[in-house]
Structure 1
């Protein structure tokens, strides 16, 4: 059994190597082992570091560090035209890039006072829910891998590729999608895209049921995840948790229900909620949310409204290319939008969407110029990672890896 720590960590800088040495000493003068978990360890799921103090396999303290992948997206946005910022957003949580794209577009539309047609809203919902499925699919299959079960990961990745086929048909990209436009979608759903979506709705439920069967009642998996890295509802709220991590702790908060956007109020779906806030509940909540996302996509594709796929906002929405070739007015608008020569109104707005791993918010301040005066991203991963040391202290090293997987911390979003 570990002896209680009496002394605080001491920090020393080696003048030759420039490395930091942390040591924790017992009263009997024995040392803990210092372990660098990251920044390039494959189990950290990204470029970030944890300096752990270990008593054997038990974690006694943890010091997280970020900054290894920082790309200064918020500062870059201050020098870009509004429509040129979209590619920055899909490089945050790249496991569900369309949600980032749509969330940003809705924020700018809120500033500009643009209301998009129902058809465009439904198309956005379809794309966002497909993105949520791929996000949860990756997260839960990686939890399986980190507990020693590789088969489920390999199996469901085939279905992720089918969603990427849909993305490719809709916007031409697969991972970093740059999907949609301020004012709607860049194109309507093609017959092929509709066919691919309906085929996915037929094929995926069987695969997801089999994946659940591999792990949900698996005794080894349950022993590895139940009761590990628990967090109470009160503590999760104090940290600012949202998304599946908060709902697993028993709080039924979902942005799609609390502050509906893009016609989410039109759809019938449930909000899965856990009670213990441990790894197992996070896994179960995400599994259940996949089924609810499938219900939403099915409702949206079967009840897709008629009408335009974009708003009538020529100052901000790029005209069709064929119109640019034959209309002087379209050519002028195209030039002004592409060159970023249209000023936005003065304003200050905040808009949030239910991202794959929590509330993704955009706080936008415009001083009337052609670029944002300030654009702040509310990244849910940044909040989860603050709680990571608290969740793993007292656990085994192997539990720390599973905890990180279950929080769905993605470095591109954490450190943007």
Structure 2
């Protein structure tokens, strides 16, 4: 019998399961993948080059737009890099707020990943459950920053403002009765911190619901178990980080090994996998959401007991308060100087890596003493993971590529930055 001739097909660039603008050229033997060649650059934004023409503070909103599912975690790495270069002291309360919102962001990210991957492989219901909780988390973002996605809330030297004393409520409309409206606003009667605490109390039961839908689901396991297996050695060689590394059994988490902000004060565990397949990576993300919930609870407890400033009082790196500006002309001049000229960072270079929900997100900054970066380089975790798609896909079917892309949790805003 004559051997089948290999042929190639395009997967994407616009594909419902590509998680962005990804073009894969798949070389097939029948329906078995022999080679997968990822073509990137279709979304290229030139963020790193644009950063050289903007002040340090103007560059902050670009970070939100890199990985638009993990917004504040991107901001955190950028702010830490500037703070280390300039020697900025960050108030302890600001550090706790940062850690709390970084973990809220981690849950946001994993909910999107699990819901979207479920949809990719045919589990329709789980994304509706995940987005139910995401809506509450997005409301937390909006309450603290005024924006649901691109928050620009973390700032070099702390955070933009303290946590608000009230939580926005649903208003009356023709779709809900007064009784329904009262029930919807029940957790919103107090402060933002009260609302976050209420969420942490009920979230573990929500994670149980996701697990009831997926973890022992026969079809889910058939689609994920033994698919995209990565050995510990290959995960290290490929530069994998985050869940892609921990799913292969390597216990590495920057929050533990090189703690930043107040992670050294937090009590949490690092979930690791055994087999290094798509299913293990799913289980790691489920458990990570539970651990993030524990960290948020610890932050709430500390923040309730410890008021204080949330941004540095050094006006070279942060604007003065609006109250002081109205009373002092010098403070007003500081305000205008800060937002027109920006901050000047001493000459030097630095790299800061953080435990982003997708892996190690790093920011490398070179400063020549001006108010703009001389060079900005971003280490995006998704870029390193995407290079492994060829090795992970070989010998699998076309339908398995969808599960592998989903388990890599890539977002092309950071890959094609």
- TM-score strictly above 0.5: yes
Deviation at 1:62, TM superposition (A): 1.4
CA distance in 2, matches of 1:306, 1:380: 35
Q: Secondary structure at the match of 1:43?
A: coil
Asked if residue 215 in structure 1 is aligned to residue 214 in structure 2, the reply is: yes
Deviation at 1:249, TM superposition (A): 0.4
**Counterpart in the other structure of 1:402:** 403
Asked if residue 67 in structure 1 is aligned to residue 41 in structure 2, the reply is: yes
Q: How does 1:275-286 map to 2 (within 5 A)?
A: 275-286=274-285
For structure 2, the residue ranges without an aligned partner over 5 or more in a row are 166-190
Q: Secondary structure at the match of 1:351?
A: strand
CA distance in 2, matches of 1:163, 1:411: 23
Which digits, 9 at most, give the CA deviation of each residue in 1:320-360, with x for residues without a partner? 23433432122111111111254221111111111010011
Q: Secondary structure at the match of 1:94?
A: coil
**Counterpart in the other structure of 1:348:** 349
CA distance in 1, matches of 2:340, 2:310: 24
**Counterpart in the other structure of 1:185:** 159
Asked if residue 81 in structure 1 is aligned to residue 80 in structure 2, the reply is: no
Match of 1:98 among 59, 72, 75: 72
Structure 1 pair 302–342 and aligned structure 2 pair: CA distance change class (3 A): closer
**Counterpart in the other structure of 1:21:** none
**Counterpart in the other structure of 1:268:** 267
CA distance in 2, matches of 1:162, 1:352: 29
Q: Please tell me the root mean square deviation across aligned C-alpha atoms, in Å.
A: 1.3
For structure 1, the residue ranges without an aligned partner over 5 or more in a row are 4-27
Asked if residue 242 in structure 1 is aligned to residue 241 in structure 2, the reply is: yes
**Counterpart in the other structure of 1:169:** 143
Deviation at 1:30, TM superposition (A): 5.5
Deviation at 1:198, TM superposition (A): 1.1
Asked if residue 329 in structure 1 is aligned to residue 330 in structure 2, the reply is: yes
**Counterpart in the other structure of 1:55:** 29
Contact 2:82–2:345 (CA under 8 A) maintained in structure 1: no
CA distance in 2, matches of 1:229, 1:180: 36
Deviation at 1:402, TM superposition (A): 0.5
CA distance in 2, matches of 1:201, 1:30: 55
CA distance in 2, matches of 1:164, 1:322: 30
Deviation at 1:29, TM superposition (A): 8.2
Deviation at 1:199, TM superposition (A): 1.8
Deviation at 1:310, TM superposition (A): 1.2
Which digits, 9 at most, give the CA deviation of each residue in 1:93-152, with x for residues without a partner? 111101111111111011110121111000000100000001011111222112211101
Contact 2:344–2:369 (CA under 8 A) maintained in structure 1: yes
Q: Secondary structure at the match of 2:38?
A: strand
Asked if residue 201 in structure 1 is aligned to residue 200 in structure 2, the reply is: yes
**Counterpart in the other structure of 1:360:** 361
Question: Which is worse superposed, 313-322 or 95-104?
Answer: 313-322
**Counterpart in the other structure of 2:298:** 299
**Counterpart in the other structure of 1:157:** 131
Structure 1 pair 49–344 and aligned structure 2 pair: CA distance change class (3 A): same
Question: Which is worse superposed, 60-69 or 198-207?
Answer: 198-207
Structure 1 pair 220–30 and aligned structure 2 pair: CA distance change class (3 A): closer
Question: Which is worse superposed, 162-171 or 196-205?
Answer: 196-205
**Counterpart in the other structure of 1:16:** none
Deviation at 1:34, TM superposition (A): 2.1
**Counterpart in the other structure of 1:372:** 373
Deviation at 1:43, TM superposition (A): 1.2
CA distance in 2, matches of 1:116, 1:318: 14
Match of 2:90 among 113, 116, 126: 116
Contact 2:56–2:342 (CA under 8 A) maintained in structure 1: no
**Structure with higher RCO (Cα < 8 A, 6+ apart):** 2
Say how many residue pairs are matched.
Answer: 390
Deviation at 1:271, TM superposition (A): 0.3
CA distance in 2, matches of 1:94, 1:135: 9
CA distance in 1, matches of 2:65, 2:408: 19
